[in-house]
Chain A
Amino acid sequence: MSAPEQSPARETPVVEKAPSRLVPVGRFVVTVLRMPSGLFGVLVMLAFVLMAVCAPLFIHPSDLSVTQATGPLLSAPQHGYPLGTDPAGRSVLLLVIWGSRTSLAIGVMATALTMVLGAGIGLIAGHYQGRTGRLLMHVTDWFIALPSLPLAIALAAVLGQGATSITIAIGVTSWTGTARLVRAQTLAVEARPFIERARALGATDTQLITRQVLPNVMPLILVSSTLTVASAILSEATLTFLGLGDPTSVSWGSLLNNAFMQGAVTAGAWWYLIPPGIAILIIVLGFTLVGRAVEHALNARVSPR
């Protein structure tokens, strides 16, 4: 990289254009897609999101209503019903597709809550290491000590059944892991000389956190987000399966719940029991793979060669 460092002074005016901000983002996306794990994960994610968004276009409320269903009751896959029917005669395939909407929505919202809470607390605790930091870490430790499932059940019971309470329950019990992770990374980043340089240049605490620390912690937050979505979807399924969700809404957890309650196991109705589980499996796999690919891509950008 021996650039011409000693060329004579020029007469032409200095170029005013700063480098575009989109180019590094574009390069990053390409790097992620180049990896087989990244490509597969992104495709899975896109497929499910597309499916969830477009579902209202081809699913009528009558397909989901217990009273208006027209199919044969609890029958194996056949022409017209690729995944068979449930005891009410609804197509299992359509139910699974519709269920993805709730599961994805709750998964993403719960993750957003977790991330904001966890990353926020982690950053502040890492930056302000005195009393504030210690206090925040004590609070975090207290939350970690609480068993998450009973807490989630209790919260859902208090807040009433439904998507909101499940979202809040998941958020409140999952933020601690992110908080500790982000705090540790904040401490590591703040030990580096460029933080001192930024202070010397005149940065305030807020500016330090937002301009210097956050961009360096963001990779961790991104990766953690994708993995958290996966676990949030699982948590949603668990809580709904346990009966804490809205009984009228369709989600993968409720499908599993219904399948168990209505004796699908003894009836040998595998087409009712297995598809929601497989759907959860695939989407969790997809998000996890994307998380790993993003991590690789971000590390490749920072480390030399």
Chain B
Amino acid sequence: MTGPAVPDTAAERRTDGPPGQPLLDVRDLTVTYHSGKIPVYAARGVDVALAPGETLGMAGESGSGKTTVAMSLLRLLPAETTVTGEIRFRGEDLLEANWGRMRAVRWAEASVVFQGAMSALNPVQTVGDQIVEPILLHEKVGEKVARERARALLDSVGVPSRRIASYPHELSGGQRQRVMMAMALACNPDLVIADEPTTALDVIVQAQILGLLTDLVRDRGISLIMISHDLSVLASTCDRIAVMYAGRLVETGPSREVIRGPLHPYSRALAGAFPTLGDPASRLAPGGLPGDPPDLREEIDGCPFAPRCPEVEDRCRTGRIPLVEQGDRAAACVHVPGYDEVVRHG
């Protein structure tokens, strides 16, 4: 291979499988942690689909289940966790795959940019070694070729390639995050999962990283799942948004529409926490929600948001509130037009 590797097979790979098949199709995903004495119901009945090249943002606060869902896609959860449902990656159910197949999928086909780059990077290995490692593991190339690719990757993420010999603590926060992204792209995956990629970063560095992510994803035709609690970050970077609360999906839809006109009261509250500068409605009027998210160790009957919802009714407190579709949007709320029909038809 001459020169740095270019993902020339990216375009070809995108046509794998029957046309129109989603790259990722998650159905009824339910995750229960058994790490302590009491089981924690971290995710309940989550349905997510992602087309090739599409970007999806998963919004929610701590305890919403968004990181759980993302980690479960690559089966990165602790061994004692129960995971049920289907996770179809290019038609193949990953929950049924054996470990050999999972190892192959991990990183070569789907990779993760972890939260908190400082702890996710090994402090005693150079940055170059950490990028080269997955390349050597997954592809039959020599050390030299792998190093060349690492240099090219660092360039593509905006880190001078001479930094290949630096240790993580020698880099700034923004540079470490870029290195994480270079690592995630090392094996030319089809899917990248970015878990809170900009949370600890300042506004300007955040804008740089988001811009970089958008460019990389677009140039290489990668699908992206971005997890964040910041709706405005997701709205500016992703095509679609899925809002999670207490382990359940409460709203999905195109990101601009969800942010401008949220259907679910929780999405409305979440959007209100990030005011638009210049909007007189939020001037000296912070939006917030009293109370706390529910305890995930208890089985919740009815809508999990009911205790804090400003529009709660009696019927919200019992039974399961299904997702009601409205065009390409959906929300799990009794106030969504069309809810009654959905319930009636079962």
Contacts and interface: CB of A to CB of B under 8 A. Distances in A.
Asked if chains A and B are in direct contact (CB within 8 A), the reply is yes
Interface of A: 1-2, 5-6, 305
B36 A305 contact: yes
4 smallest CB-CB distances across A and B, nearest first, come from A2-B291, A2-B292, A6-B290, A5-B290
A5 B290 CA distance: 8
B307 interface: yes
Contacts of B292: 1-2
Interface in B18-61: 36
Contacts of A5: 290-291
A5 B36 CA distance: 30
Nearest to A1: B292
The B interface is mostly helix, strand or loop, or mixed, namely: loop
Contacts of A1: 292
A2 B307 CA distance: 9
Given A5-B290, A6-B290, 7 more contacts: A1-B292, A2-B291, A2-B292, A2-B307, A2-B308, A5-B291, A305-B36
A5 B292 CA distance: 11
A51 to B, nearest CB: 40
A1 B295 CA distance: 9
Contacts of B308: 2
Find the residue from B36, B290, B307 having the highest chain A CB count within 10 A: B290
A300 to B, nearest CB: 13
8 contacts: A1-B292, A2-B291, A2-B292, A2-B308, A5-B290, A5-B291, A6-B290, A305-B36
Contacts of A305: 36
A1 B36 CA distance: 19
Interface in B278-322: 290-292, 307-308
B295 to A, nearest CB: 8
Contacts of B307: 2
A280 B307 CA distance: 61
A290 B290 CA distance: 45
A6 B290 CA distance: 8
Nearest to B295: A1
Find the residue from A2, A5, A6, A305 having the highest chain B CB count within 10 A: A2
Contacts of B290: 5-6
Contacts of A2: 291-292, 307-308
B303 to A, nearest CB: 15
A305 B40 CA distance: 13
A305 B36 CA distance: 9
Nearest to B292: A2
Nearest to A5: B290
A268 B237 CA distance: 86
A211 B330 CA distance: 55
A5 B289 CA distance: 12
B68 to A, nearest CB: 17
Interface in B302-346: 307-308
B310 to A, nearest CB: 13
A95 to B, nearest CB: 50
A30 to B, nearest CB: 19
A1 B291 CA distance: 8
A6 B292 CA distance: 13
A208 B36 CA distance: 36
A21 B220 CA distance: 64
A305 B35 CA distance: 12
Nearest to B36: A305
A198 to B, nearest CB: 27
Contacts of B291: 2, 5
A115 to B, nearest CB: 36
Interface string B253-291: 000000000000000000000000000000000000011
Find the residue from B36, B292, B308 having the highest chain A CB count within 10 A: B292
Contacts of A6: 290
B320 to A, nearest CB: 22
Nearest to B307: A2
Nearest to B38: A305
Nearest to A2: B291
A127 B316 CA distance: 56
A5 B291 CA distance: 8
Interface string B79-114: 000000000000000000000000000000000000
Nearest to A305: B36
A157 to B, nearest CB: 50
A2 B295 CA distance: 10
A248 to B, nearest CB: 58
B94 to A, nearest CB: 31
Interface string B3-26: 000000000000000000000000
A2 to B, nearest CB: 4
A305 B291 CA distance: 20
A50 to B, nearest CB: 37
A1 B308 CA distance: 13
B69 to A, nearest CB: 23
Nearest to A6: B290
A6 B307 CA distance: 14
A2 B290 CA distance: 9
